[in-house]
Amino acid sequence: MQPLVIDDVPLTPAEVAEVAWRRRPVAIGPKARARLESGRALIDRFLAEDVPVYGLTRGLGGRAVTRVADGERDEMSTVMLRARACGGGQRFPVPAVRAFLLARLASMCQGRAGVRPLIAERLADFLNKGLHPVVHEVGSVGASDLALLAEMGIAVMGEGLAEFGGEVLPAAEALKRAGLEPIKLKEKEGLGLCSANSVSAGLGALALTEARRLLRLHEATAVLTFEAFRANLSPIDPRIVAARPAPGQGEAAAVLRGFIGAGGLADKGAARRIQDPISLRCASHIFGAFHSALAFAEPHVAVEINGAGDNPAVLWEDGEIVSTGNFQTPGLAQAFDLLAISLSQVGSIGAQRTSRLMGKRFTDLPDYLSARAEGTVRIGLALVGHNARCQAKELHLLSHPASSDDSSGYDVEDHEPMTPVAVRKFWRALPFWRNIIASELIVASEAFDQRNPDRPAPVAVALRDAVRKVVARLDDDRPLSQDLERVVALVEGDSLSRLVA
């Protein structure tokens, strides 16, 4: 696999995902290296001239106006990282840590952090050799991911814990096994390792990439439901969309029409009803709102994985080092809160579509899609619909905004956007979405087989066939947990996404 070169071309969330999940190697380009060298040269000059600079010749936080003694300036990098490495809660999985490393490396290569090229090279070494510092989930409030990035940064010094070869070890031992030596940090390099939003940015990039993939898969799944239901397609008619062109709705309707193509459902008179339940009728409206939320979030993520949130920022072109507020990320926090709210509606309407497929009064198919449901005992696939609704309730709980909860407690650092909480909350919502998609796939496949539509959309047939490879037709009531697990595994993998592409 060709290395991803960090230089002048901005990273995309998809490239972050490749490095995180597929372990694509990385390299530092010549222009990035020149920026690093220029930034460090200015740091050394300001040190020699004893220029007042936050975090370099002056203290941190409430000590910003206090001069740091000459003999303590390089020690400050080591001490400040140790003191701030204080994350809690669960540990992030390795792919997430890889995203953090890449996001910090890309931002660092702007030269604004003022670190030596050696520090950036070490982050690249971690990625290429598969050495991953242990980083906990809780401890950042979005005014730089200080505590969490400090956990990542101390591994550069050979401290803390790190995963290598599937084993969590003291970082010094992990470095040794990877053939690396601990680095003694110089002035400002501790701050350069942790004064950034790389946890929020890296996890946000992974979450966006997965959300884009799941959205397209859910749209294709909805088409399987349309075929099984014999839905009325008038709500996605381009003329209807143009009558009230809400942001994102036209895109979603075009995707659905593209999947349906020229199949039998598009024929005049193919629909069974003049008007369907809202969960089918308004699918493009809800998917469209999610498209719009993604479009709002993507530039915020792009800025954070490519820009410099360092404070202070080394303006090597102008020979200045200035204090900034670029660590503050309210837009990113609000974007992921919006995504979580929008996803709760996507999940809810998906669960409702699943349930509508099991009502004879709506479908003219047997209740619960069970040929034996006319008695008093059998309930067919009813609990798959119940499971989907339970998953949707979990999404509702995770849709509470984090960015409106400012928990600041310092006189100087007196506002916090809670960005990492907003991003992590959306990340945690994705497994529930996968379960909702899997539930709809199982029920829609059974309804599709019972309906046996004429000239169905190829994507509907392909999805039904993929489900049938792991889940048998419903001949009588049976435990359904393993069926769900198998289809969730399909949704988690990339085979269905390749199929619908």
CATH of the domain at 370: 1.20.200.10
pLDDT tens figures, 477-487: 899 999 999 99
At residue 373, the pLDDT reads: 61
At residue 65, the pLDDT reads: 73
- Low pLDDT (below 70) residues in the chain: 373-375, 407-412
**Largest distance between two CA atoms of the chain:** 89
The span from the CA of 478 to the CA of 488, in Å, is 18
User: pTM (2 decimals)?
Assistant: 0.95
Residues 312 and 396 in one domain: yes
At residue 80, the pLDDT reads: 86
Residues 385 and 440 in one domain: yes
312 preceded by a cis bond (ω within 30 of 0) = yes
For the chain, how many structural domains are there in total? 2
Q: Which domain holds residue 301?
A: 204-500
At residue 500, the pLDDT reads: 93
Residues 326 and 442 in one domain: yes
Residues 164 and 213 in one domain: no
8 Å CB contact between 485 and 435: no
Exposed, middle or buried, 344 (CB in 10 Å: 0-12/13-18/19+)?
Answer: buried
At residue 356, the pLDDT reads: 97
C-alpha of 413 from chain center: 27
Cα angle: 50, vertex 51, 56; to 5 degrees = 85
Among candidate residues 180, 196, 212, the one where a domain is terminated: 196
Among candidate residues 146, 163, 196, the one where a domain is terminated: 196
Among candidate residues 196, 221, 254, the one where a domain is terminated: 196
The span from the CA of 148 to the CA of 199, in Å, is 7
The span from the CA of 420 to the CA of 13, in Å, is 17
